[in-house]
């Protein structure tokens, strides 16, 4: 009897130790990314809050901001202004949608990586040979992701309080932000059980995120459709209004959704084999021999899905921006304090619409530059997985291989730029704002030199610091954009602003196209890429 009693006790201790080990491993896997996200979002929130205080120093100027709540277009894009006369309320309204989206994108990427990527690489099998079940490993992983999101939310909360936001509202907003990210982590967790391929899981969750944003946009376009807000986490965040009379049902949904989705994922996990999926795809098929002729054709075959995904996302966003133009026309012109704020960041009041289109072109340029970083990251993934060895041990030079990826990244950037420009113009056409095609398309093309510059920079970073291939250039793109959009309003010195490539562009169409900086940025980008190709020829290939 004593022996029988002793065994389960022993088993329990190893179980606990194994669970702790799994937790520890997953913490190690995502802690750096978590820290970067927390710091990045906190920095963004702080800059937003400080720019608000600088631009709207007194109650009078702040109260005029509320006039924006009448604009369906702004509601569609970023939601409703609640308590926009307070720091917290303004940040939640002006930047909340963006912070939520960034947190959700991070959460879905990390979830796909831990829950599916680890299985794809067969590393998960090491873990599962330990005394810990697959369902439990999933719970441990989602616990780590959830904790990371709470940490990110808490960092934003503390930052908001520090910049003068109301403490209670800051806590509710931070919780909501974490819950928002958690909801999409939950979607990714469920999809990881349904599909065997990480890329598919990640792509479908991103589609769900984009779809939620669009549904929320529709819900906010007309009061009669307001009920649709309850369908998506974006809508829940709209309903939450953390800084004035919070809606506890919305908060409950934001907290419950991740928990329910995680429980469902754990349940589904127990129903499937490790490495398998509930929606099995056939493993056998007749060969498809197209695009197998060389490294560049092959790269196109493997990354075109990614290109079309980004093009669809950025294109839809541009369409919505185009629809907004008409609304911007009528509202910005009526608001003197906003006009003052606009002047501070170099906008011409007489050409409000041109400026708006110009800024949107820049924003689209930022997104396409991010695409370029991810696209070069796809080349890095070939190397880190070891698949590149099979290519480079054949008569294929490294320059040929990486040059192909570079050419595809640039061509993809041009493609998305043109598509975004055309869709934005289609948006202006639908809303009858009568903007000429060239103004809109030109605004998008105006940012292309920045995209080329960052593509070259991404290639150089990939060649010199392969392990930072996506994170470092993407962070630089984002920083450069923030410096250019926020710096002028805060009177940052010219040399700081000059660090951002965006700063050197003329804001077309409100300013005449500046050919010299465009040419310099393009040449610099190609130069950086050239140095990158040269350095890549001479370095060791390196795994993860």
Q: Which of residues 356-395 bind other proteins (CB under 8 A)?
A: 385-387, 389-395
Instruction: Please list the alpha-helical segments (H only) found in 333-436.
Output: 336-344, 352-384, 387-392, 398-430
Binder of other proteins out of 7, 58, 289, 494 (CB under 8 A): 289
* Residue 116: DSSP 8-state: I
For residues 10 and 394, which CB has a smaller minimum distance to other proteins in the complex?
A: 394
Asked if 58 is part of the footprint of other proteins (rule: CB under 8 A), the reply reads: no
Asked if 59 is part of the footprint of other proteins (rule: CB under 8 A), the reply reads: no
Binder of other proteins out of 50, 278, 396, 526 (CB under 8 A): 396
The phi, psi pair for 57, rounded to 5°, reads -75, -25
Residue 393 CB, nearest distance to other proteins (Å)?
A: 4
For residues 286 and 493, which CB has a smaller minimum distance to other proteins in the complex?
A: 286
- CA 381 vs CA 39, 288, 376, 377, 453: distances in Å: 26, 23, 9, 6, 22
Asked if 283 is part of the footprint of other proteins (rule: CB under 8 A), the reply reads: yes
For residues 86 and 201, which CB has a smaller minimum distance to other proteins in the complex?
A: 201
Residue 392 CB, nearest distance to other proteins (Å)?
A: 6
Q: Spell out, one character per residue from 302 to 341, where the chain touches other proteins: x when CB under 8 A holds, - when not.
A: x---------------------------------------
Q: Which of residues 94-123 bind other proteins (CB under 8 A)?
A: 120
Residue 121 CB, nearest distance to other proteins (Å)?
A: 9
Residue 302 CB, nearest distance to other proteins (Å)?
A: 7
For residues 340 and 539, which CB has a smaller minimum distance to other proteins in the complex?
A: 539
For residues 226 and 294, which CB has a smaller minimum distance to other proteins in the complex?
A: 294
Query: Interface with other proteins by CB under 8 A: which range of 83-91, 131-139, 285-293, 453-461?
Result: 285-293
Q: Which of residues 183-242 bind other proteins (CB under 8 A)?
A: 196-197
- Within 13 Å of residue 540, how many CA atoms lie on the same side as its CB? 4
Residue 287 CB, nearest distance to other proteins (Å)?
A: 4
Asked if 298 is part of the footprint of other proteins (rule: CB under 8 A), the reply reads: yes
For residues 50 and 392, which CB has a smaller minimum distance to other proteins in the complex?
A: 392
Residue with tokens 């290109």: 307
Asked if 129 is part of the footprint of other proteins (rule: CB under 8 A), the reply reads: no
Residue 36 CB, nearest distance to other proteins (Å)?
A: 26
Asked if 57 is part of the footprint of other proteins (rule: CB under 8 A), the reply reads: no
The number of beta carbons lying within 10 Å of the beta carbon of residue 291 is: 14
Any idea how long the chain is?
544
Number of residues that bind other proteins (CB under 8 A): 33
For residues 305 and 434, which CB has a smaller minimum distance to other proteins in the complex?
A: 305
Spatial CB neighbours of 531, under 8 Å, sequence gap ≥ 6: 460, 463
Long-range contacts of 96-100 (CB under 8 A, 24+ apart): 96/173, 96/177, 96/237, 97/213, 97/234, 97/237, 98/44, 99/41, 99/44, 99/45, 99/156, 99/177, 100/177, 100/180, 100/181, 100/233, 100/234, 100/237
- Given a contact cutoff of 8 angstroms between Cβ atoms, the answer to whether 170 and 161 are in contact is yes
Binder of other proteins out of 129, 245, 284, 495 (CB under 8 A): 284
Q: Spell out, one character per residue from 497 to 536, where the chain touches other proteins: x when CB under 8 A holds, - when not.
A: ----------------------------------------
For residues 515 and 542, which CB has a smaller minimum distance to other proteins in the complex?
A: 542
Asked if 285 is part of the footprint of other proteins (rule: CB under 8 A), the reply reads: yes
Among residues 388, 367, 254, the alpha carbon closest in space to that of 321 is found at 367
Cα–Cα dist 85/91, whole Å: 10
Among residues 343, 364, 384, 536, the alpha carbon closest in space to that of 450 is found at 364
Cα–Cα dist 504/498, whole Å: 7
Asked if 296 is part of the footprint of other proteins (rule: CB under 8 A), the reply reads: no
Cα–Cα dist 398/273, whole Å: 39
Residue 112 CB, nearest distance to other proteins (Å)?
A: 14
Cα–Cα dist 27/17, whole Å: 15
Asked if 540 is part of the footprint of other proteins (rule: CB under 8 A), the reply reads: yes
Long-range contacts of 347-352 (CB under 8 A, 24+ apart): 347/507, 347/510, 348/510, 351/510, 352/328
Binder of other proteins out of 7, 9, 248, 288 (CB under 8 A): 288
For residues 211 and 293, which CB has a smaller minimum distance to other proteins in the complex?
A: 293
Residue 132 CB, nearest distance to other proteins (Å)?
A: 24
C-alpha gyration radius of the chain: 24
Opening angle at CA 313, ends 439 and 355, nearest 5: 25
Residue 535 CB, nearest distance to other proteins (Å)?
A: 11
For residues 120 and 335, which CB has a smaller minimum distance to other proteins in the complex?
A: 120
Give the three-state DSSP class for 184.
helix
- List residues binding other proteins (CB under 8 A): 120, 196-197, 283-289, 292-295, 298, 302, 385-387, 389-398, 538-541
């Amino acid at each position: 009897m004593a022996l029988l009693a002793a065994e389960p006790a022993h088993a329990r201790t190893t179980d606990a130790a194994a669970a702790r080990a799994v937790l520890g491993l997953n913490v190690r896997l995502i802690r750096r990314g978590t820290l970067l996200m927390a710091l990045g979002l906190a920095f963004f929130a702080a800059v937003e809050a400080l720019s608000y205080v600088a631009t709207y120093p007194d109650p009078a100027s702040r109260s005029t901001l509320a006039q924006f709540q009448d604009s369906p277009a702004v509601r569609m894009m970023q939601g409703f202004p609640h308590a926009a006369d307070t720091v917290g309320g303004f940040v939640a309204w002006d930047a909340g949608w963006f912070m939520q989206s960034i947190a959700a994108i991070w959460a879905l990427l990390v979830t796909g990586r831990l829950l599916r990527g680890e299985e794809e690489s067969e590393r998960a099998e090491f873990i599962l040979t330990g005394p810990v079940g697959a369902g439990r490993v999933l719970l441990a992983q989602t616990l780590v992701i959830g904790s990371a999101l709470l940490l990110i939310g808490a960092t934003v909360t503390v930052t908001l309080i520090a910049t003068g936001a109301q403490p209670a509202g800051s806590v509710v907003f931070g919780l909501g932000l974490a819950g928002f990210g958690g909801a999409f982590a939950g979607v990714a967790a469920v999809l990881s059980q349904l599909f065997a391929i990480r890329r598919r899981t990640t792509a479908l969750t991103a589609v769900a995120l984009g779809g939620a944003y669009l549904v929320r946009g529709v819900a906010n376009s007309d009061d009669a459709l307001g009920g649709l807000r309850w369908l998506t986490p974006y809508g829940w965040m709209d309903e939450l209004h953390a800084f004035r009379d919070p809606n506890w049902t919305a908060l409950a949904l934001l907290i419950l959704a991740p928990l329910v989705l995680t429980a469902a994922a754990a349940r589904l996990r127990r129903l499937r084999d490790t490495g398998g999926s509930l929606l099995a795809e056939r493993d056998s098929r007749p060969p498809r021999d197209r695009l197998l002729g060389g490294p560049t054709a092959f790269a196109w075959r493997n990354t075109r899905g990614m290109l079309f995904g980004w093009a669809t996302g950025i294109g839809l966003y541009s369409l919505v921006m185009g629809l907004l133009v008409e609304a911007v026309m009528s509202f910005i012109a009526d608001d003197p304090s906003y006009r003052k704020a606009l002047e501070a960041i170099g906008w011409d009041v007489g050409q409000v619409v041109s400026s708006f289109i110009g800024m949107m072109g820049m924003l689209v340029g930022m997104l396409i530059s991010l695409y370029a970083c991810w696209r070069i990251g796809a080349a890095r993934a070939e190397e880190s997985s070891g698949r590149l060895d099979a290519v480079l041990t054949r008569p294929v030079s490294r320059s040929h291989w990486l040059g192909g990826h570079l050419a595809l990244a640039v061509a993809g950037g041009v493609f998305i730029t043109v598509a975004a420009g055309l869709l934005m113009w289609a948006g202006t056409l639908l809303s009858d704002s009568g903007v000429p095609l060239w103004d809109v398309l030109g605004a998008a093309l105006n940012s292309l030199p920045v995209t080329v510059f960052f593509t070259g920079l991404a290639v150089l970073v990939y060649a010199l610091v392969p392990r930072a291939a996506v994170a470092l250039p993407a962070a630089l793109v984002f920083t450069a954009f923030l410096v250019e959009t926020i710096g002028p309003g805060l009177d940052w010195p010219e040399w700081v602003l000059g660090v951002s490539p965006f700063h050197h562009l003329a804001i077309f169409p409100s300013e005449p196209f500046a050919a010299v900086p465009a040419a310099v940025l393009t040449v610099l980008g190609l130069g950086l890429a050239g140095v990158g190709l040269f350095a890549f020829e001479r370095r060791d290939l390196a795994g993860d």
